[in-house]
């Protein structure tokens, strides 16, 4: 701990977002960066707590106090080494992790101003790339082959760990490009795809093979591999099966988001296939982060209006007694996309889609609902109120989550990881799970 009193004198300073009028005109990353001096000052605020709850909260077991200390002292390379001992991809988590660590920081509890751990993490890895410290490594080979199905954060993390352990790794991906939801879900304004490409170049130089446009049937795995890691994510979005669902203009959020990412990567779509919010009244059904990404995308495409509705009540603002510190707080959240313009409403159940004569959606009938707490403390019970209204919408985006997949009857040498195992989750959890899966495969093959 470099400066034991910094937390008393240095206020928290986030780099913040680019101004709204500027950022909604492009798909570049919205987050800015601090200069080196301010970044070191932010790192100095870490109190090096006896029990580092940040470390406990991070699914990867990152060691924030150690790398904050190195950063404060200007030992950037040491900070990079500490960080990458636990995290293979700090450039992803440094940009898009919801920073579970910061919610558990003692300065969050004390003054609601945690150490800027996530941004510091991003600054450290960016300096490492800039300085040329991120170089391909060579590891002793074991002469065994492992196949990884799916190239999202779980697959990439499993591949990196298995390669480090000495296995010859081939990653099979059904899409044209590697990255999973990092590439085809998360919008560019949160994560530029060049960040993924930069990491892939290092992984390929380390000997990991990527085979794209190659869907693999888990029931008919190719011969010649000692083990497999299945990281196929959560392919099935939750549907809203209400009258009018067949109308045109109603899309799953991921179809919409992935198409926009593909367009930005240079892919062309015919007019009739293109899903765009330009000039439209957009209704996003689902109040979570995927919905928020749809809002940011719709505003950049030039939507006439954007509304996000959610069936559940508005979460508590500030703190939630049901999720006390150091747990991750389930509280009202305003993202950069919300700031860019949208109306948000809660307690609305969708009853039916309303269409024009030529089969296009132009509204959704909704009903206000109330929620009664369950006597046993379980899921609250929904009570319709009879108060109905029609919301105007000529583009409806369904962002209600994904179904947890099942994997019956897999052979013994197959280990499942990431969202494919847990259901919809977070990038940081998937990176952690990819590491766990690699260890499991290593143990299994070593015992053999
Ligand atoms: C829109 C959106 C925004 C998100 N934003 C964030 C965020 O900001 N921060 C955060 O932490 N988390 C976020 N998440 C969640 C996060 O992206 C996921 O939890 C994570 O990407 C899951 O990683 P994964 O590797 O398990 O699966 P995925 O990323 O889904 O990757 C699975 C891969 O497997 C491939 N695949 C599937 N079946 C086959 C097959 N048979 N053969 C070959 N390949 C196959 C798929 O094409 C895909 O590339 C977001 C999710 C969405 C949908
Ligand atoms: S990966 Fe996420 S939770 Fe872990 S230290 Fe980084 S920002 Fe915090």
Per-residue pLDDT, 379:
85
Mean local confidence (pLDDT), 338-358:
98
Per-residue pLDDT, 2:
67
User: Cα(440) to centroid of ligand 2, in Å?
Assistant: 23
User: Cα(212) to centroid of ligand 2, in Å?
Assistant: 29
Q: Which ligand is nearest to the CA of 173?
A: 1
Mean local confidence (pLDDT), 428-448:
96
Residue 434 has pLDDT above 70, yes or no: yes
* Residue 381 burial class via C-beta count within 10 angstroms: exposed 0-12, middle 13-18, buried 19 and up: exposed
Domains of the chain: 6-131 (1.10.1060.10), 145-235+403-447 (3.50.50.60), 250-398 (3.50.50.60)
Mean local confidence (pLDDT), 12-38:
98
428 lines ligand 2 (CB under 6 A): yes
User: Cα(380) to centroid of ligand 1, in Å?
Assistant: 30
Mean local confidence (pLDDT), 52-67:
97
Q: How confident is the model at residue 67 (pLDDT cuts 50, 70, 90)?
A: very high
- Mean residue pLDDT across the chain: 97
DSSP per residue over 35-78, as a string? -HHHHHHHHHT----SS-HHHHH-TT---HHHHHHHHHTT-HHH
Per-residue pLDDT, 4:
85
Mean local confidence (pLDDT), 202-218:
98
List strands edge to edge, sheet with 250-252: 250-252, 395-398, 281-285, 305-309, 343-345
123 lines ligand 2 (CB under 6 A): no
Tally of CA atoms within 13 A in the half-sphere of 129 that contains its CB: 16
Per residue in 117-166, pLDDT (tens digit) is 999 999 999 999 999 999 999 999 999 999 999 999 999 999 999 999 99
Q: Which residues pair with 389 in a beta bridge?
A: 366
Q: Whose CA is nearest to atom 6 of ligand 2?
A: 118
Q: Are strands 395-398 and 281-285 parallel, antiparallel or unpaired?
A: parallel
121 lines ligand 2 (CB under 6 A): yes
Residue 166 tokens, joined: 């000495």
95 lines ligand 2 (CB under 6 A): no
46 lines ligand 2 (CB under 6 A): no
Mean local confidence (pLDDT), 78-82:
98
106 lines ligand 2 (CB under 6 A): no
- Which single residue is written with the structure tokens 């898009």? 96
Which ligand 1 atom sits nearest the alpha carbon of residue 97? 11
Per residue in 250-264, pLDDT (tens digit) is 999 999 999 999 999
398 lines ligand 2 (CB under 6 A): no
């Amino acid at each position: 701990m470099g400066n034991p009193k910094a937390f008393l004198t240095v206020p928290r300073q986030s780099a913040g977002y680019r101004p709204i009028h500027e950022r909604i005109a492009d798909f570049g990353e919205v987050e800015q960066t601090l200069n080196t001096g301010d970044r070191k000052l932010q790192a100095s605020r870490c109190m090096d707590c006896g029990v580092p709850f940040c470390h406990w909260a991070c699914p990867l077991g990152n060691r924030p106090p150690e790398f904050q200390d190195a950063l404060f002292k200007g030992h950037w390379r040491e900070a990079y080494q500490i960080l990458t001992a636990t995290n293979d991809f700090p450039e992803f988590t440094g940009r898009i992790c919801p920073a579970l660590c910061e919610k558990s920081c003692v300065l969050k509890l004390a003054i609601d101003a945690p150490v800027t751990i996530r941004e510091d993490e991003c600054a450290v890895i960016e300096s490492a790339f800039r300085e040329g410290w991120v170089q391909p490594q060579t590891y002793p080979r074991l002469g065994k082959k492992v196949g990884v199905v799916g190239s999202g954060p779980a697959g990439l993390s499993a591949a990196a760990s298995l390669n480090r352990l000495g296995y010859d790794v081939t990653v099979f991906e059904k899409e044209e490009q590697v990255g999973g939801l990092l590439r085809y879900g998360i919008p560019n304004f949160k994560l530029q795809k060049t960040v993924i490409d930069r990491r892939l170049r290092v992984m390929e130089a380390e000997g990991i093979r990527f085979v794209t446009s190659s869907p693999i049937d888990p029931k008919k795995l190719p011969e010649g591999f000692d083990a497999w890691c299945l990281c196929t994510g959560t392919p099935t979005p939750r549907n809203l099966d209400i009258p009018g669902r067949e109308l045109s203009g109603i899309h799953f959020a991921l179809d919409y988001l992935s198409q926009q990412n593909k367009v930005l990567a240079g892919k062309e779509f015919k007019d009739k296939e293109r899903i765009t919010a330009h000039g439209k009244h957009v209704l996003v059904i689902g109040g979570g982060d995927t919905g928020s990404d749809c809002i940011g995308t719709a505003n950049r495409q030039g939507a006439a209006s954007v509304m996000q509705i959610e069936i559940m009540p508005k979460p508590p603002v500030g703190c939630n007694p049901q999720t006390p510190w150091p747990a991750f707080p389930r509280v009202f959240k305003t993202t950069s996309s919300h700031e860019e313009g949208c109306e948000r409403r809660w307690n609305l159940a969708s009853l039916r889609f309303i269409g024009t004569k030529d089969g296009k959606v132009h509204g959704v009938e909704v009903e206000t609902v109330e929620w009664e707490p369950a006597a046993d403390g379980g899921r609250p019970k929904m009570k319709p109120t009879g108060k109905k209204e029609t919301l105007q919408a000529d583009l409806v985006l369904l962002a209600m989550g994904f179904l947890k997949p099942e994997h019956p009857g897999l052979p013994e040498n197959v280990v499942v990881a990431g969202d494919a195992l847990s259901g919809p989750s977070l990038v940081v959890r998937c990176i952690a799970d990819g590491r766990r899966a690699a260890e499991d495969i290593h143990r299994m093959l070593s015992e053999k």
